[in-house]
Amino acid sequence: MPTDSINGFIALVAFITVLTIFGTIGRLWILRRRPRTLAVNISDAAFVLFTVLMIATAGVAYDGVRQELRIRRDFGDQAIPKMLFTEGYLKEFFAISLFCTTQVWLLKGAFLGYYWSLRETLTERVRALLYVVSAYCVATYIGVLSFQLGYCHPVSTNWSTGSDRCLATLTVPGMIFQQWTNITSDIMVLIVPLFTISTLQLGRKDVYALSVVFGIGALSIAASVVRFTQVYYVVMHADNSIEAIRRTLVWAVIEKLFAFTAFCLPCLRVFYRKRHSTIGSLPEHKALFSMSSQSNSFRSGSRSGRSCSVGDCREEEEYII
């Protein structure tokens, strides 16, 4: 692989890692005053764990690239197949595959966890959909992870340097099972807010903003489809070259980039409203009346008896939209 392509891969991984760190810190700070329910805590924990795994993945990927560049410099490109695919390198690749699987499902869990915190405000139809999608995501994650850990016997064949090497994610059953469950669960997760928003009366600006968010979410699914085609090429053509495998990792990174962006964008609306609210310029009794009216309208419209402070309910309403 040309040096420019390797540098481009490093730059892409570094970019999404920095974006993930600052995005995670920013989102947690903007939404720091939310009611701390179990579902919210689980959602935030999944989000933070995604960031931790992103940093770990970047570190492992950088170490692999560093080894590759050293071999290319000292022994030439022809030495890559024999000298790079050591037991240690294959262990790193196996770890990255587990990290990537866990990361994409963690984002699904973080998203669903937030809607679980709002389940009392949802209609019965949307609530039932949330339960079904949550169960499907949990089942598919357990299934995919179990497949990756158990398909090759013993598990050490995943990093074997001999002819018995077996990479579960680069087999036909592994390719179909992992990519199919990932894409279908992404689509199901995207459906939940669509059904929720259909019950709300939105202005034109809100519709435009939502179109952008859902568009980015759709791009994440599209990137997952492209990744499937890349993995399909590797598996069906038995192309285990470092270049072909890295292309699958590039699209995995792009998929996570779009998914992360789509998950974080709604909180910017909360930040914008807090920074540009004109409530503070109104007389105190008018401001309180306005906020109370909107909060009560939100709760009554959702047929919920859940109690929360005026600011918290308003913040939840804004985040949904």
Residue 134 lies in a domain: yes
Residue 318 lies in a domain: no
CA dist., res. 25 & res. 15, Å (int): 16
Q: Which of 208, 263, 219 is nearest to 27 (CA)?
A: 263
**CA atoms within a 13 Å half-sphere pointing along the CA-CB vector of 59:** 8
Residue 57 lies in a domain: yes
Residue 308 lies in a domain: no
Residue 244 is predicted with a pLDDT of: 79
Residue 276 lies in a domain: no
Per-residue pLDDT of the chain (321 residues; tens, 9 = 90+): 456 678 888 888 889 899 999 999 999 998 888 788 888 899 999 999 999 999 998 888 888 888 888 888 888 878 887 888 888 888 888 988 899 899 999 999 998 988 888 788 788 888 999 999 999 999 999 999 999 999 998 999 989 888 888 888 888 888 889 989 999 999 999 888 888 777 666 677 777 777 888 889 899 999 999 988 888 888 887 666 777 778 888 888 899 999 999 888 877 776 666 666 644 444 433 333 333 334 344 444 444 444 444 344 444 444 544
Structural domain count of the chain: 1
CA dist., res. 229 & res. 6, Å (int): 21
Each residue of 65-87: b (16+ CB within 10 Å) or e?
A: bebbeebbeeeeeeebeebbbee
224 in Cβ contact with 108 (< 8 Å): no
Residue 287 lies in a domain: no
Residue 143 lies in a domain: yes
Residue 288 lies in a domain: no
Task: Provide the residue range defining the domain that includes 229.
Answer: 3-271
Residue 289 is predicted with a pLDDT of: 34
- Assign residue 227 the CATH number of its domain: 1.20.1070
